Structure formats: C-alpha cells, structure tokens
Amino acid sequence: MKYKKYPIGPYNLHIINTDKFKTITIFFNFKRKIVKEEITYRNILRDILFQSSKKYPTSRLLNMEIQELYDIKLENRLHHSGHYSMISFSGQFLHEKYTEEGMIDKSIAFLCELIFTPNVSNRKFDSQTFINSKNHIKEKLESYKEDLKNYSFQRMFEVMDEKSVISYRPIGYLEDLEKINESNLYKYYENVIKSDLLDIFVIGDVDNTKIKNMIMEKVPVNTLKKPSKSHYVTHKHYRKRARKVIEDDDINQSRLVMGCKLDKLTDFEKKYVGAVYSFILGGGPDSKLFKTVREKHSLCYSVNSNIRTISNLLIIYAGIDSKDFEKAEKLIRKEMKNIENGKFTEEDIEKAKLTYYNSCKEILDSPYNIINTYVSYEYLGMDLLEERMKEINKVTKDMVIKFSKKVHLDTIYLLKGDSLDAEKNTP
C-alpha cells in the first residue's frame, strides 16, 4: 500500500495505491465551520446532487446509469466533526479488470458529473428534482424522532448545552427547510464549491498520473482557501452536580443517556487513553457496564459507552425498564467510581490494547476505513495506523486512573416509557 498526497492548490488529492481490493473507491469531502442556519441547506444539497444532473436530468435516468456502470455504489453523507460540517460524496466501483475496459474513467467521470454539473438552469435547480429532494428531507425531519436511541442522544446534547455546536441537529431543522428554494439553494451550492475546503481520496489499483490528470480536468474547483482551524470542541462550563431531565414518551423501553464532559485532555489522552478507558467501562460484552448492569442485574439488553474526543464527550447508553432507572444510574456511577479508585486490573488494560491493535489491522481490510484514517490524520491530527499500533502500548493503569478523574458526569437524560410490570397489571 502506497500513499501519496498531491496538494493541487484549491484542494488536495490523496491517492492510496493497493491491489488488495476488487474495487476502486473515490471520496470527496467538503468541509466548513458549522453555521446552524446552514445545516438544512447542506442536507438538501447533498441529497439533490445525487437525484439528477445535467446529463441525467431525472432520478430514473441517473439510476439507470448507475446500473450501466455495474452498480457503482454511491453514498452521500453529512456529519458534524466538532466545529466542522462535512459533506461527503463517494463512489465505489469494480475495477475494470472485472467488468469492461474504460469503466474506471467512466465511473470517475460520472461521480464528477453529479457533483459539479447539477441539473440547473437560470441559476436555479430543476424544480421537479428540488421538490423531490425537499420532500425526502422533509420526511426525514418529520420522522427523526422515530429512531429512539438517536433521538435520546440528541435530546441529551440539547439538555447539556443548547448553545453549543454539539447540540446542533446534523439532520437540520424543519423551519429552515421552508426557507429554502431552487435559487437560494443554487447560490449556496456555488458558495460551497467556492469556499468549502475540499479533499479528494482515491484508493485502489490505479495509475496515479492518469487519476491526477483526470481529477484536474473534471474538478472545476479553483479558489484557494484559508487553512482549516481546529475541529475540537471545548466546554465552557462543568456542572458540579449532574443535571437530570426525564421526558415521557409512549414507548415500551426507556432510553437512558448519560453525558460526561472531558476536561483538559492531553494530546496522548485524546488519542489513546480515552479509547482504553471507554473500552474498559462499556466497550463491549466484556466491559464493566455489560457485566454489571446486564449480566449481574439483568436490567437491560443494551448498555455501552462511547467516546467522542472531537467533542470532548463520553456518553453512556442503556435501554432499561423505567422502574429500574435509579438502580441503573447508581450501578453505572459505581462502575465509573471503581475505575477512578483503580479497581480494575492490568489484564483489563491489556485486553483493551489488544482489541485496539486488532482493529487497526482490520482497518486495512476495508477501503473506506483506510480513507478514514487519512481523513482523521489530515483534519484531526490523529496518528497513522503503524504509529497507533505502537503508541497504544504506552498506556498504563495510572494513565487510565488519571483520565477517569477528568470524566465529569454532566447530564442524565431519560426518555421514559411504560414499565413492564405496570403493564402486566392492566387488564
């Protein structure tokens, strides 16, 4: 595997050369600082560009072309990375040695066509495409509460700090959607092409010079941008006692989300110690939370913790019966306290390291995961895989204890449903 970065000027091209996969993957990442009012624009924009284009003016024609290209796998995504909003467009397709000659060129040209030559006339997006896309986003916004786990996470962020960027809904807002039309969306699109920082990644068995020439020909992005600032979010306030909010809902299972703020982490803690801590606390079926809350006390099916270093947060989740809320909270707090008090073993650390090492190795089996390591290297200052596999070994028990003292439980949110036993008593 060989990695090379080409700083073209207005954007960077990264090519990772490997013959390990039957596919070639190309990934465009546009990013800028998050502005709350722009989130919905960005959502509809990522959607509309994959609905039609100048050459394929309806979604039907566009999908026919996808099939002609041996089912090129298109994906678009909008997500928040700390202070930054990232829109990504990607295409994964079979190498032409498995299909027919010329398919590499055709597939890359197709993806560029969708991103850079939308179905626009008189500086407006095509109205049917716009309506379809708007309907699609509208339905997603209207139904976003239906994913109860996601919704309870979102509510926890809002309760934690509604002014902070961490609480912005990555899916956008209904009231903003109403303000968007064919022309202001196109204006916004032009602005994205002009001002967003762009990185393009290509991975597969490719000829670098050919790819570079092709990208330079097909990507009409030519403005130089100011370099990116830090993605990392820091918190202004730390609560001494956690804020507790309970909201009732007409559901069977209650969702408990506990949000912890992380305080003044060192670079090494961000990269490595946090991962080890979270793995020990709630990283999987061998974790403290799983063994106590689920296996010993039978309170839940799902319980886990995950760390979001970019937002300086650690989040604990459990799906429980509402009558067990206090008991579950107590048990979770106790497990966190135990780590602070050093009540865990060297073996716990070794397991976490080995798991981390294994996951690094498995990253190399997936084109998207390889691209992601370069994205986090570029944007977040994370280490590359070889470095990671070495560095993780430096984590010690003392470091984990020290880290645990920087974990401040801040917000406890319960989306409260019926209780099973209460239900049993009703006729």
Q: Enumerate binding residues for other proteins (CB under 8 A).
A: 20-23, 58-60, 63-64, 67-68, 70-71, 73, 94, 98-99, 128, 131-132, 135-136, 138-139, 142-143, 145-146, 148, 249-253, 284-286, 290-291, 294-295, 298-302, 319-321, 347, 350-351, 354-355, 357-358, 361-362, 364-366, 417, 420
- Beta carbons of 32 and 245 less than 8 angstroms apart: no
Comparing CB distances to other proteins, the nearer of 190 and 387 is 387
- Residue 66 Cβ vs other proteins, minimum distance, rounded to whole Å: 8
User: What phi, psi does 322 have (nearest 5°)?
Assistant: -60, -30
How near is the Cβ of 253 to other proteins at its closest, in Å? 4
Residue 51 or residue 81: which is nearer to other proteins going by CB? 51
Distance in Å, CB of 143 to other proteins, minimum: 4
CA dist 84 to 169, 232, 285, 413, Å? 13, 9, 33, 26
Instruction: Identify the helix (H) or strand (E) that includes residue 152.
Output: helix 148-160
Reference 311, options 157, 88, 147, 151; nearest CA is 157
Crossing angle of helices 274-282 and 325-340, rounded to 10°: 140
Q: Which is nearer to other proteins, 192 or 352 (CB)?
A: 352
In the complex, least distance from residue 158 CB atom to other proteins, rounded to whole angstroms: 19
Nearer to other proteins, 19 or 190 (CB): 19
Q: Which of 190, 295 has the CB closer to other proteins?
A: 295
Nearer to other proteins, 11 or 89 (CB): 89
**Contact yes or no for 124/182 (Cβ under 8 A):** yes
Pairwise CA distance, residues 197 & 378, whole Å: 12
* H or E element in which residue 121 lies: strand 120-121
| Shortest distance, position 237 Cβ to other proteins, whole Å | 33
CB of 367 to other proteins, least distance (A): 9
| Closest-CA residue to 98 (of 69, 64, 63, 66) | 69
Q: Which is nearer to other proteins, 181 or 228 (CB)?
A: 181
Q: Are 346 and 280 in contact (CB under 8 A)?
A: no
Amino acid at 253: Q
What's the closest the beta carbon of residue 82 comes to other proteins, in angstroms? 28
| Tokens of residue 373, six digits | 């390591």
Across the strands, what pairs with 6?
13
